[in-house]
């Protein structure tokens, strides 16, 4: 068994917690033990895709620790990141008489992690929870930092809480069963760290893209570790996104408009963020901050890992589509005092939060970043 193992800490004083990254970690009882209270039991919350693959392994580890546990298996998909699904979790917790000390374990990708984290934040005003991310995207981004949420028809992640886990256990072996489209989507968030704060990491990703997509474990370990190290450092300095943490949202305001406008689940989060990042880069070019060569490097890397670089049409014409994007973006959490603040690039590795772009410039950037043909309206990126 490959037992490579690295550990990082998210430094938040008494709420600090470890991120374990490596292979064969699901069965490593000693990594779980410090973060569980066997007397209070645990509940493993997962989905119909992940449960047949990894649920038994996690339940066996809990049994080895003498921690009684049961499972809740939810439908799989972004469209289930909703109030209705959240209530399904609460129903199970209450029916099984779970207490405030019962540990909630999120076994799955970003949807499961966000939803279970929000359930933990709310249940009896706060129950402990553990993140066991099984997708690349959740391992490098959503499982770390304590952002939890569900979606609303008018906007993605609009209802949630900052609530930190007790442990993040990123077992790289779970990536073996990840579909190629999900693997590509995860790379979007990995690339983001290079773009916002680490040009050397971006260059390394350009060189190693093929090996990463072939799931070379040594390369994946390095990519996940480096991504989590960036995230942990930023979260430790700005847990509640008062400043620097907002930079982690590069491409997300445009991307959330795609996800909301297309209907949750049509485009994967990482796909929407990739196309949204290109739009942010095009807007940065308009402001004179980014040159064409940098934009081409960004597009080339996204293409190399199988991600879209053109956004979908949301209406019958480019201008109407751009106006729909802008309307959806104005529902984003980055709106402050009615002003839309966007994460833009002053170079590869140099991101800023800016309110400098007016509506006309945003509309122009969206139109420049749209696919040539409106057929993208209803076709997922990998099927075009």
Return binding residues for NAD(+).
Answer: 76-81, 110-114, 134-135, 147, 156, 174-177
Residues in the chain: 384
Token output for 150: 């569900």
Q: Which residues are annotated as a binding site for Zn(2+)?
A: 189, 252, 269
**Buried b / exposed e along 163-191 (16+ C-beta atoms within 10 A):** bbbbbbbbbbbbbeebeebbbbbbbbbbb
By annotation, the residues acting in catalysis are 125, 147, 189, 231, 241, 245, 249, 252, 256, 269
Separation of alpha carbons 318 and 162, rounded Å: 37
Contact 47, 20 (CB under 8 A): no
- For residue 109, give the DSSP letter: S
**Buried b / exposed e along 241-263 (16+ C-beta atoms within 10 A):** beebbbbbbbbbbbbbbbbbbbe
Separation of alpha carbons 235 and 241, rounded Å: 8
Q: Which residues are annotated as a binding site?
A: 76-81, 110-114, 134-135, 147, 156, 174-177, 189, 252, 269
Rounded (10°) angle between helices 292-304 and 180-197: 150
User: What phi and psi, each to the nearest 5 degrees, are found at residue 123?
Assistant: -65, 120
Instruction: For residue 291, count other CB atoms closer than 10 A to its CB.
Output: 12
Contact 32, 55 (CB under 8 A): no
Best CA proximity match to 64, nearest among 94, 31, 87: 31
Task: Please provide the DSSP assignment of 80-99 as one string.
Answer: G-SHHHHHHHHHHHHHTT--
């Amino acid at each position: 068994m490959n037992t490579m193992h690295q550990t990082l800490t998210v430094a938040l004083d008494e709420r600090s917690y470890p991120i374990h990254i490596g292979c064969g970690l699901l069965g490593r009882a000693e990594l779980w033990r410090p973060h569980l209270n066997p007397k209070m039991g645990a509940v493993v919350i997962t989905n119909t895709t992940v449960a047949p693959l990894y649920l038994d392994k996690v339940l066996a580890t809990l049994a080895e620790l003498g921690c009684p546990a049961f499972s809740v298996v939810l439908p799989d998909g972004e469209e289930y990141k909703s109030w209705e699904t959240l209530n399904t979790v609460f129903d199970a917790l209450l029916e099984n008489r779970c207490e405030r000390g019962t540990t909630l374990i999120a076994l799955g990708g970003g949807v499961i992690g966000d939803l279970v984290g929000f359930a933990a934040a709310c249940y009896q005003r706060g129950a402990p929870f553990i993140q066991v991310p099984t997708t690349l995207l959740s391992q490098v981004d959503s499982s770390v930092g304590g952002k939890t949420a569900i979606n609303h028809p008018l906007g993605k992640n609009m209802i949630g809480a900052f609530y930190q886990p007790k442990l993040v256990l990123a077992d790289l072996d779970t990536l073996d069963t990840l579909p190629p489209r999900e693997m590509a989507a995860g790379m979007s968030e990995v690339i983001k760290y290079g773009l916002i704060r680490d040009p050397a990491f971006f260059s390394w990703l350009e060189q190693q893209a093929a090996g990463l997509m072939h799931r070379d474990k040594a390369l994946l370990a390095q990519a996940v570790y480096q991504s989590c190290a960036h995230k942990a450092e930023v979260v430790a300095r700005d847990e509640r996104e008062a400043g620097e943490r907002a930079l982690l949202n590069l491409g997300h305001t445009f991307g959330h408009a795609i996800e909301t406008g297309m209907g949750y689940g049509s485009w994967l989060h990482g796909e929407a963020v990739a196309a949204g990042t290109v739009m942010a880069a095009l807007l940065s070019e308009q402001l004179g901050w980014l040159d064409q060569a940098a934009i081409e490097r960004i597009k080339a890397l996204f293409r190399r890992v199988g991600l879209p670089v053109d956004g979908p049409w949301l209406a019958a014409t480019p201008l109407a589509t751009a106006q729909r994007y802008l309307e959806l973006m104005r529902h984003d959490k980055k709106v402050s005092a009615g002003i839309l603040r966007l994460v833009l690039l002053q170079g590869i590795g140099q991101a800023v939060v800016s309110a400098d772009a007016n509506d006309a410039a945003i509309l122009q950037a969206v139109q420049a970043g749209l696919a040539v043909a409106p057929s993208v309206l209803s076709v997922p990126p990998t099927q075009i």
